[in-house]
Amino acid sequence: MTGLSLRVGERMSRMCNEWRVAVLGVVVLAVWGCSKEPASAQPPQVRVAPAGVHAGPGDTPSLGELPVVSGLSVAKVFAQKLGKPTSLGETTAVHVKLPPPANRGLAGSLVRVVGDSSGPTVLFRSDTLARLGVIPASPGPEFFTLFARLPGAEVERREESERRLASGEFGMPTRETVLFNGRHPAARYEGLPMDANAFAQGGLVPQTSCPQVPASTEAWWERTLMIRDPAVVLDPARTWDPCTGAGTKGGVWTFAHLMREMAQGSGASPEDFVLEWLSLWLNDFQANGDTVPARRKMYDEVIAPWAAASGASSSLEFNAGTGRWEVVLRQPLDLDIAPFRLLAIVNRIDLAGSTEYSGRSSTPGELRFIFGLTRPSPWGGGTEATCNLKPFTTIFEYGVPGEGCRAITGWARQWVGLGMDPAFNEAYRSRLQQMTESVVRHGRAPGKGNRSALNQLRTNEVALAFPWELREFHLADEHPGTGKDTPSNGLLRVHTMALTPDDATHDFRTDPDVDFFVRTHVKNGVEQPVTVPTHCTARFTVPQVINGMPFLGANAQVAPPTHWEAVSAVSTSATEVCARKEFSSNTCNGCHFKDTGTNDFSGTDNLAFVHVSPTSGIPARQSRFLTGGGNGFMFVVPDAQFGAQVTSWPFADLLRRHQRLQELAHCSACGWFIDLDAGYLNRMEALAGSVPLDVAPGSPVSTFTVGPIRDVDRVKQLLELRPGFRMRPRELPLDFLEPPAARVH
């Protein structure tokens, strides 16, 4: 791609003609049940020609203007029944379309190893296995194969799910699925059925989304993804409103209940647990070399008013012995009247599955509670008008307990079942309570700090000082030297911000370390071929240290920084445009401002710095990054560094999450995969002289000699070695190697 061929010209309608031209050049297998080798199915690509019109701030084109591609062209996983089981009892070849290796030296390797070396996933080039007669046929040169046991009952279950979906049992079905490039709508296609007959005969059966799914509606979003309805967030039996005093103190969806469950096992009372957390704002702190200035207005805006409402006198005093500011309370805070008001209960099942190419850990995503800060007057006895809503959100982000395919699909089915209730009635709220309590109760995560399922607690506020600031807290000890956390009991501790540089020492526009990281590590992880905005994804990790200097920050400020730029990146390079976007949009700064368009103040329906507003009242307003501007639309955001004259990025995130929920609930097939002991890689290195370990850029350096394996005889030997390193099998989705579209935000 050269010159200005990246420019977004006319809106999505012009893309259609160019896409059709591209698709004409792609040969695909029309009947997936046949056994002969098809040509490789290429990923959908759009090269947008320059034109005089571009997407501007606030533009919300219809999703119906996206081009249409064939379902087979988007298939990245094929299942194929083997003529006879392997020596390990595996019955199915699972062919995965891997992107080109981030380590370019591994190009052409007949073996690929992905994930952590302590629990590696080993795949063999499909063409080579077909040549050796190990599999009946290969889907194409870009595919690699691993083996699983796929029970016949699982194939039958998928067929039955398709039948029920088509009948309308789960709502009005649609044949159309929107293809997302990461988090960006790129095209429309029809999913393909699970053809049991073709599978039984050894055919290559693609694993795509359901051929029909319940049509995405705002009602589905509200009941299963982002629950904001007053019937829930102001439920008198389960919440308590600090503004009006309505509700039940300590109810199961209150700030007080969540903190009480989290504090068990900490060695502190729940009241002290919360006070110690709030006191983290009163003094400077440091993490990974980043010193974060105190925001002592926390005492004036939160602690002192709350203490007064609790009937307790308080003061903020400087302790000369410790050199720290401390709160002195004459009696504990009353947790039951906490000034945090529930805004939303959020299902982030789209985060389910393995972390990006990191091995075989497979969990059901996150459950989140979003609270907004208030300073009511009178406290617990006023009206909405006296609520005094503050620009301050607190988000409890729990990892849903469970691991493996059944845990994921079972959790998804619970949400779909919940969404079938016609209203937010008592039956709905009771079922939702059962689900939330199964996550937030003490003891739900025995291996984590305080036995709590909390992954992290995040805040985003400008109520205490300017600019907006985000902070992150864990029930774990952070080790910057290794980049690892150790879960431990105790109080909430400050933690570096996920994927986000230290904005105190790195300038968001000109920093050479950011530029270096984007133009090396992230750029090397961009999946090729790349076209923007329709085919741009990247694999990378953000290390604690870059070039010997701390990189991750202990807080994130917004406006400024509004996003992150690679100062040397050029707009004529699709890979560099993509790399910059992938890095910046996954930081706290970019996600909460310019990369997702919350800086667009042109309309009344968009937000600044947040995706769920703490100051709009109930129900809380959502950003157009989430809604796309309404069901059936997508919100188009000009590139934060290069502008709309180069490209713009469309969003419709609740649609993406809806599709993923329905796919997991109905059409994800579960297979049993056998782990190999880490010693297998030692044997591979001794046998072949190298290990084709392809880790995401930014990951720690491997202790193995990393290099390709191009000898077919070595492939045969490695296949024969597998039984000697057998470990326990795990039940995982067939597409478990497909990285989630979203990372943490």
Q: pLDDT tens across 217-226, in order?
A: 999 999 999 9
Hey, what amino acid is at 68?
Answer: V
The tokens of 322 are what? 């410790």
What's the confidence (pLDDT) of residue 255?
Answer: 99
- Choose the weakest-confidence range: 28-32, 160-164, 246-250, 514-518: 28-32
Q: pLDDT at residue 514 above 90? A: yes
- Give the residue-averaged pLDDT of 117-136: 93
Of 608 and 463, more confident: 463
- Report the C-alpha gap between 260 and 269 in whole angstroms: 8
Q: Do the beta carbons of residue 318 and residue 202 sit within 8 Å? A: no
- Give the residue-averaged pLDDT of 675-695: 93
- Give the residue-averaged pLDDT of 559-564: 96
The rounded mean pLDDT for the chain is: 90
- Give the residue-averaged pLDDT of 434-462: 98
Q: pLDDT at residue 54 above 70? A: no
- Residues 241-269 have pLDDT tens digits of 999 999 999 999 999 999 999 999 999 99
- Report the C-alpha gap between 53 and 69 in whole angstroms: 25
- Report the C-alpha gap between 372 and 737 in whole angstroms: 37
| CA distances, 710 to each of 112, 331, 687, 690, 707 (Å) | 11, 71, 13, 11, 10
- Give the residue-averaged pLDDT of 682-687: 96
Q: pLDDT at residue 581 above 80? A: yes
Question: Domain residues of the chain, as ranges?
Answer: 12-210+667-733, 226-494
- Give the residue-averaged pLDDT of 125-152: 96
pLDDT bin (cut points 50, 70, 90) of residue 583 is very high
The tokens of 653 are what? 């995130």
- Cβ partners under 8 Å of residue 15, min gap 6: 46, 48, 65, 66, 67, 534
Q: pLDDT at residue 614 above 70? A: yes
Q: Do the beta carbons of residue 111 and residue 717 sit within 8 Å? A: no
- Residues 372-418 have pLDDT tens digits of 999 999 999 999 999 999 999 999 999 999 999 999 999 999 999 99
What's the confidence (pLDDT) of residue 353?
Answer: 75
Tally of CB atoms within 10 A around 435: 18
The tokens of 61 are what? 């084109």
Q: Do the beta carbons of residue 91 and residue 80 sit within 8 Å? A: no
- Report the C-alpha gap between 150 and 167 in whole angstroms: 26
